[in-house]
Amino acid sequence: MSLGIEDRLRELNITLPQASEPAAKYANYVIVNGLMFISGKGPAGNPKGKLGIDYSTQEGYEFARQTGIEVLAVLQSALGSLDKVVRAVKVQGFVNASADFEEHHKVLNGFSDLIMEVFGDKGLHARSVLGAVSVRDNLPIIVDSIFQVERDIVE
């Protein structure tokens, strides 16, 4: 018998926070045709600064992982159970970085690694990562994500 996702979180020693709310007038998520689009999320605690100036690649990796936990919290809040996630589909990261920073992909690995650890093969996703001259609230990273969810979820 396979473990549920909540059991997997316990194995990984991950406790999900309460889902964060949108920072302005937009939805935290939208579900259309079995796809759940999650609005851009950043790391807990609202750290401020740029990769390559204020933070190292490894610190960025940890921020991206924290951002993944924020996304998992939104999924759990919206769906009632992470077991209703069919698969991760697409991840897009926006790394607030200096002009000469070149390790955006290594930063976003923090998010991708977490999603793979939690969902296993269902966590494998397409992704893109971009460097940004600025992002809202001067966060070091913001991540948009898309997940396929069970079709019985109210849309």
User: What does the pLDDT look like over 22-70, one tens digit per residue?
Assistant: 878 999 999 999 999 999 999 999 999 999 999 999 999 999 999 999 9
Please give the Cα distance from 97 to 95 (Å, whole number): 6
CATH superfamily of 5-149: RutC-like (3.30.1330.40)
Q: What are phi and psi of 138, to 5 degrees?
A: 55, 30
The pTM of the full predicted model, rounded to 2 decimals, is: 0.94
Please give the Cα distance from 52 to 150 (Å, whole number): 40
User: What does the pLDDT look like over 82-100, one tens digit per residue?
Assistant: 999 999 999 999 999 999 9
| DSSP summary character for residue 137 | G
Please give the Cα distance from 22 to 147 (Å, whole number): 18
Quick one: tokens of 142?
Answer: 């913001």
